[in-house]
Structure 1
Amino acid sequence: MPATHLRILTLNIHKGFAMGPRRLVLSHIRSQLRDSKADLVFLQEVVGDNQKHSRRVRHWPAETQLEYLADTVWTHHAYGKNAIYQHGHHGNAILSANPFRSWDNIDASFVNFSQRGFLHGVIADDIHLLCIHFGLFEKERRLQTTRLIEHVNRSIPTDAPLIVAGDFNDWRQTTHRALLNGLGVNEAHETAHGACAKTFPAFLPVLPMDRIYLRGFDIHACTTLSGNHWREFSDHCAMITDVSLRNT
């Protein structure tokens, strides 16, 4: 699919483990991502390296989780290392069917025990991509929201197409309102259905946590992928939208 028509998916992969009993489900996640036919995949809690898991977890991939999930389907990908610990690190990732012109990871950590960042990439047609995983605390999210708005307004031209997707941990929708007002974006599920999608917890979604915000696109459809197959893969539902680049 050309860059002017895109299918976009976002999912917090829970470091590749299923909810409940600790069971690696990366191969199932990879299969479902392939079946989605998404052109752009925004992932959160992707493990870049974990020496303990590589020794102890059965079927842990020899390559990174990012490379394993991308396989031969998304030949272009970027990873932003956020949480760093003695035996490894994890962060956000973007898989793309189109090449990256550039990418960078923007620090958004405001408390010592919660390391966060915005993964910012640019692909063809000057489309800017931001993969987000906000913190669990209201004050932390408020500061991260301010930093995100400042970064976008400072670094991205107002007429450039923009996609901001990920896990916002924003069940009160305070960040949601700030982004609508501060960035001039539309949220895909709200545009298609009148309200943000309930995506957490996956087995019985009641909280609107995961979002896809867009600027410069027409939104054609949006849904959560929360059927029997998807519920096993994370504590969050996947979310997917079909869009087209708006003519200017």
Structure 2
Amino acid sequence: MAARRIRTNLADLARARLARRDERRAARGVLRARREQHAAYREAVEGALPYLASVRAPSLPIPGALGRELSVATYNVHRWQGLNGVRAPDPARAGFVISEVGADITALQEVLRPFGEPDPLERLADSLRLHLAFVATRVHRLGEVGNAILSRWPITSVFALDLSFSRVERRAAVAVQFSGVGGTLAVVATHLALVDRTRRQQVASILSHPQLQGAVLLAGDLNAWRRCEATRTLERELVGQESVAWPRSFPSARPVLALDRIYARGAEMLEVAAHDTAAARRASDHLPIVARVRLSA
């Protein structure tokens, strides 16, 4: 009897070991298939960059139309990875800050859309009842990274601008247009290059674009860590002067650089400030910049 129980137990152990081995093999197979799928998707995406990856309306839009005055924000969300960029992506942190700001239009940079997972940007936009446009600029190990615009009002047209004038850095912009009682407005969200000469080319390309004439707002991380020809051109053509005291936004814990800016053409900038709260200092390495704008009559 004892020997039979021992044999039965040994058989059970062997079956359990085989089952665990089969489970591990199946899990490895699933992971391998997922990696292959991601690699194929990554290759396809890299060949198409930059491209318009998402345009969505919320399931429950906010009523209202574009008027003469509006609030605009720009926010580099640092791939949803918080202040130091080493945490696991947590879009809820930056999402809370975006809801804190409550701008009519928000330009986002370094937005991460992970491979093989639900898109947190689309969930965020829908939860805030905002319209969304997203342009993928480059491929990160965790997914696609690019620029987005969230808007209280419906987007009437949208397009991507390729600003990759250097083989070292992939750069792009997403441009959207709105129509309302306040007239027609174009908004560009971008993240400019680190190199001065490339930034100058990118600014020239944006300002001369045939679809970006009339009232235009340019918002983004301009990497303007020092005065350069690109920022002087923007200030000369969109502000009317070459010396502007922009609010500091980077690093968020103790800002010393005014990297993030909002420029207006065909509109008056009534006020501009950094959104400096405890949540904003933790959610990204950049603070949001918020402006109140009045469209020209």
Aligning the two structures, in what range does the TM-score lie when normalised by the shorter sequence? 0.7 to 0.9
Judging by fraction of residues, say which structure has more strand.
1
Q: Displaced runs of 4+ in structure 1, greater than 6 A? A: none
Judging by fraction of residues, say which structure has more helix.
2
Counting only pairs closer than 5 Å after superposition, residues 163-242 of structure 1 correspond to structure 2 as 163-174=217-228, 175-181=230-236, 184-186=237-239, 195-242=245-292
Letter in 2 for 1:120: A
Matched-pair contact (CA < 8 Å) for 1:83–1:114? no
Letter in 2 for 1:144: Q
The DSSP-based 3-state class of the residue aligned with 1:202 is coil
Return 5+ residue gaps in structure 1 as ranges: 55-61
Distance 1:42 1:85 in 2: 20
Q: How many Å apart are 1:86 and its aligned residue?
A: 6.8
Match of 2:208 in 1: 150
Matched-pair contact (CA < 8 Å) for 1:165–1:213? yes
Match of 1:81 in 2: 136
- The aligned length equals 227
Q: How many Å apart are 1:220 and its aligned residue?
A: 2.6
Of 104-113 and 67-76, more deviation after overlay is shown by 67-76
The DSSP-based 3-state class of the residue aligned with 1:15 is helix
Matched-pair contact (CA < 8 Å) for 2:272–2:292? yes
Indicate the structure (1 or 2) with the bigger Cα radius of gyration: 2
Q: Deviations over 1:182-235 (max 9, x none)?
A: xx3139xx99xx501211111111111000001222333221012221110111
Match of 1:107 in 2: 162
Distance 1:74 1:83 in 2: 27
Q: What TM-score results when the alignment is normalised by the length of structure 1?
A: 0.83
Relative to structure 1, the CA distance from residue 50 to residue 113 in structure 2 (aligned partners, 3 Å threshold; closer, same or farther) is: farther
Q: Deviations over 1:7-56 (max 9, x none)?
A: 111100001011224143311221221122211010001113334xx5xx
Distance 1:18 1:236 in 2: 9
Distance 2:164 2:287 in 1: 25
Return 5+ residue gaps in structure 2 as ranges: 1-63
Matched-pair contact (CA < 8 Å) for 2:76–2:109? yes
Relative to structure 1, the CA distance from residue 71 to residue 212 in structure 2 (aligned partners, 3 Å threshold; closer, same or farther) is: same
Match of 1:8 in 2: 72
